[in-house]
Amino acid sequence: MDQLVITGGVPLVGSVPISGAKNSALPILAASLLTEAPLTLGRVPSLQDVRTQLALLAHLGVAVDHRGDEVVALHAHTLAEPEAPYELVRTMRASFLVLGPLLARRGRARVSLPGGCAIGARPVDQHLAGLKRLGAELEVRGGYVEATAPRGLQGARLVMDQVTVGGTEHLLMAAVCARGTTVLENAAEEPEVVDLAAFLRTLGAKIDGEGTARIEIEGVDALSVPAAMGPVHCIMADRIEAASYLIAGAATGGSVTAEGVDGAHLGAVLDKLEEAGARVARGREHITVALEGSPRPVSLRTAPYPGFPTDVQAQFMALDCLATGVSRIRETVFENRFMHVPELARFGAQVSLEDARSAVITGVPKLVGAPVMATDLRASFSLVIAALAAEGETIIDRLYHMDRGYAAMTEKLLGLGAQVIRRRAP
Ligand code: UD1
């Protein structure tokens, strides 16, 4: 197993290219099951989660061809048995999203209930309730969802009990080829939902209102792929990856430019960075964040988009650990997302949990490098930030969490001047 060795105390300076968004690529890959025609996607990030999703598509009969340079060709012409086994679904929740497209294409599917990061119960009740409203018959047996749509999927009005990103994406995919009109109320407004809708619209789907809480979909008979020289769709830039590097720059007293990402997608995070004392330049294609001296303490609560993203909570906590005062972080999206707290304590950070969803952070003048362990995907980057800002050497173990979501992380950190080595654990 690999580990990362970081010698801290060097301000990060420079530009970092931002990869395609994992959370956009995974649903779009699932949506490729909806059409019989061959298609090519661009800016597909080179990540373990993407490889897992591609392995699942291949298992389902999709011809997958890596064309290099983040271009992937997919052809779901004839599908195999529509079954997604536990071994392929358990490591990553987004693989569950193949259920809706399989039902739409084949009229039946058997998909294992999902796994993913251990950050809470993460049920899929909203996905299942929505599919039922669209006419699916569902049964959960032996850890699998067995679904049929004997009369095909039928448009319906769906009011989701709570805002769910994956649920919104799943029902959007299921509805594009359903008969009649579907209205999704209380839909997630995340930019990744908008990117999925843009991809589906390129294939001829009729969608209106994505990016708002009400999405209207008029079902079409079939999706087709327009003739194109290159990719029919390029995945949007990863706003979470961008935020991670920008916060790392701020925590080390440096100046980092995230290239290729839209500043409008990170409004809440950039506002908080300004509150911490950073200078922020927001463009349509890049964001620069610079911070001199110690950050000011910043309190925040996570919320669905456009609120502060839960996927950036751990990284911002690492910055707050170095602030000149006390801040509070409240996690409202997941019930168990503070696993990084005991690891941050190993650097000398002072964080106490008031309850499972509230943390109080008392800033300290400096952190000191330590051996630590990555716990989940985004939380692991908070350890990278703490290590980069800390005095001395840090060894981070269990890098496989980071490999799920951060493409070429070591190279990108080196490009910003960090002292970092990736090596096999002795
Ligand atoms: C997606 C992101 C993840 C991010 C999360 C919230 C992907 C691949 N992953 O995850 O990185 O942290 O959005 O921004 O895009 N819930 C239910 N019932 C459901 C569905 C969800 O109770 O049927 C709950 C979840 O347990 C959670 C909350 O709703 O507490 C939000 O989850 P959701 O938005 O669905 O997250 P994911 O789509 O899994």
| C-beta 94 within 6 A of ligand 1 | yes
pTM of structure: 0.97
Residue 315 has φ and ψ, to the nearest 5°, of -65, -40
Q: What is the mean pLDDT of residues 229-250?
A: 96
Same domain assignment for residues 149 and 286:
no
Do 206 and 348 fall into the same domain? no
Domain boundaries, position 229:
22-234
Q: Is the CB of 310 under 6 A from ligand 1?
A: yes
User: Rounded CA gap, 262 and 123, in Å?
Assistant: 31
Query: How distant is the alpha carbon of residue 110 from its chain centre?
Result: 25
Q: Based on the domain organization, do 12 and 147 belong to the same domain?
A: no
Among 200, 234, 268, identify where a domain stops: 234
Instruction: Report the percent of the chain where pLDDT is more than 70.
Output: 98
Residue pair 248/258 in contact (Cβ under 8 Å)? The answer is no
Residue with tokens 């330590």: 370
Q: What is the pLDDT of residue 119?
A: 42
Q: How far is the CA of 407 from the centre of ligand 1 (A)?
A: 22
* Residue with more model confidence, 78 or 136: 136
Q: What is the pLDDT of residue 121?
A: 55
Mean pLDDT of 195-208: 98
Are 148 and 107 in contact by the 8 Å Cβ rule? The answer is yes
Q: Would you say the CB of residue 23 lies under 6 angstroms from ligand 1?
A: yes
Residues 110 and 177 grouped into a single domain? yes
User: Could you tell me if the CB of 267 is within 6 A of ligand 1?
Assistant: no
Residue 134 has which token pair? Answer: 């669209």
Give residue 79 CA to ligand 1 midpoint distance, Å: 28
Domain boundary (234, 253, 270) is at: 234
pLDDT grade for 117, boundaries at 50, 70 and 90: very low
Residue 162, ligand 1, Cβ within 6 A: yes
Sorted by sequence, the CB contacts under 8 Å of residue 106 that are 6+ apart come out as: 79, 82
Pocket probe mutation, ligand 1, options 26, 122, 238, 380, max atoms within 8 Å of Cβ: 122
Q: What is the mean pLDDT of residues 241-264?
A: 98
Claim to verify: residue 201 and residue 338 sit in the same structural domain: no
**pLDDT above 80 for 254:** yes
Rounded mean pLDDT of the chain? 95
Closest CA to 125 of 101, 103, 145: 145
CATH code of residue 145: 3.65.10.10
**How many angstroms separate the alpha carbon of residue 166 from the centre of ligand 1?**
6
**Is the CB of residue 258 less than 8 Å from the CB of residue 286?**
yes
Indicate which residue's Cα is closest to atom 17 of ligand 1.
123
Position 118 pLDDT exceeds 60:
no
137/67: higher pLDDT = 137
The verdict on the CB of residue 167 being under 6 Å from ligand 1 is yes
Instruction: Find, among 314, 312, 301, 299, the residue nearest to 269 by Cα.
Output: 312
Q: Let me know: does 73 contact 67? Beta carbons within 8 Å.
A: yes
Ligand 1 mean position, distance from CA 10 (Å): 35
Same domain, 176 and 242: no
- The total of other beta-carbon atoms located within 10 Å of residue 14's CB is 13
Our answer on whether the CB atom of 26 is closer than 6 Å to any ligand 1 atom is: yes
Just list the catalytic residues: 117
Domain count, the chain: 2
Atom of ligand 1 minimally distant from the CA of 125: 23
pLDDT in tens, 307-362: 999 999 999 999 999 999 999 999 999 988 999 999 999 999 999 999 989 999 99
Q: Is any ligand 1 atom within 6 A of the Cβ of residue 122?
A: yes
Mutating to test ligand 1, I would choose from 93, 158, 164 the residue with most ligand atoms within 8 A of its C-beta, which is 164
User: Does 345 lie in the same domain as 213?
Assistant: no
Q: Which residue has the tokens 């909570």?
A: 313
CB of 334 closer than 6 angstroms to any ligand 1 atom: yes
Residues 54 and 81 both lie in one domain? yes
Which atom of ligand 1 is closest in space to residue 162's alpha carbon? 29
| CA of 92, closest atom in ligand 1 | 8
Q: Can you tell me the mean pLDDT for 266-287? A: 97
Residue nearest to atom 1 of ligand 1 (CA): 165
Tokens coding 77: 């012409």
Nearest to 152 by CA among 175, 169, 185, 123: 175
Query: Is there a single domain that holds both residue 27 and residue 9?
Result: no
Picking from 27-36, 50-59, 170-179, 222-231, which range would have the lowest pLDDT averaged per residue? 222-231
Q: Which residue's alpha carbon is nearest to atom 2 within ligand 1?
A: 23
Residues 199 and 303 in one domain: no
3-state helix, strand, coil in the chain (%, to 5): 35, 25, 40
Q: Which helix (H) or strand (E) holds 157?
A: strand 157-159
Percent of the chain beyond pLDDT 90? Answer: 87
Same-domain check for residues 325 and 336: yes
Closest residue by Cα to atom 8, ligand 1, is 23
Domain boundary among the residues 234, 258, 289 is at: 234
Residues 104 and 227 both lie in one domain? yes
